Amino acid sequence: MSELQQTLVLVKPDGVKRNLIGEIIRRCEAKGYVVLDLKKIQPSRALLEEHYAEHVGKPFFEPLVEFMLSGDVVAIRLEGHGVIDGFRSLAGSTNPTSAAPGTIRGDLGREWGTKVVQNLVHGSDSPESAERELGLWF
């Protein structure tokens, strides 16, 4: 049996602007995960630079930070057994064009021709990342 975990889920500015917050949360809860904490914020550049620190120097870093600064973000502390891998599976692959039907990105996302892929959600990729990211956002 997998361990009880917490993960950070972010509904990115494109998801907030498209009024998909409720649908994304609905999918998490329908899977059996529990929302422990939730907040809607306009993140600062400093928070985003720390969140995406591993990408500093990569060509997509600045467009990614600019996109994440473009509107409100909803940060969610999500809990469940195996929730880190489970949410990433629920989210679908990074590119919404190739994300499987039935996933958040596959059903609700698409390519918009922007500098950086706008793919609705972020989910922590490991227990270590979840702990670090939850500490930043909460």
- Residue 83: CB atoms within 10 A of its CB come to 26
- The domains located in the chain, with CATH, are 4-137 (3.30.70.141)
Residue 9, phi-psi category: left (phi > 0), alpha (psi -120 to 50), beta (remainder): beta
What's the mean pLDDT when you consider all of the chain? 96
Mean pLDDT value across residues 53-60 = 94
Pick the catalytic residue from 51, 55, 81, 122. 122
The values of phi and psi at residue 130, to 5°, are -60, -45
2: confidence class by pLDDT, cuts 50, 70, 90:
confident
- Counting Cβ atoms within 10 Å, is residue 114 exposed (0-12), middle (13-18) or buried (19+)? exposed
**Is residue 115 over pLDDT 90?**
no
pTM of the model: 0.95
Rounded distance, CA 104 to CA 13, Å?
15
Active site (annotated) includes residue 122: yes
Percent of the chain with pLDDT over 70: 100
70: confidence class by pLDDT, cuts 50, 70, 90:
very high
**Is residue 82 over pLDDT 80?**
yes
The values of phi and psi at residue 125, to 5°, are -100, -5
User: Is the model more confident about 4 or about 113?
Assistant: 4
User: Is the model more confident about 26 or about 112?
Assistant: 26
Q: What is the edge-to-edge ordering of all strands in the sheet holding 34-41?
A: 34-41, 73-81, 4-11, 121-123
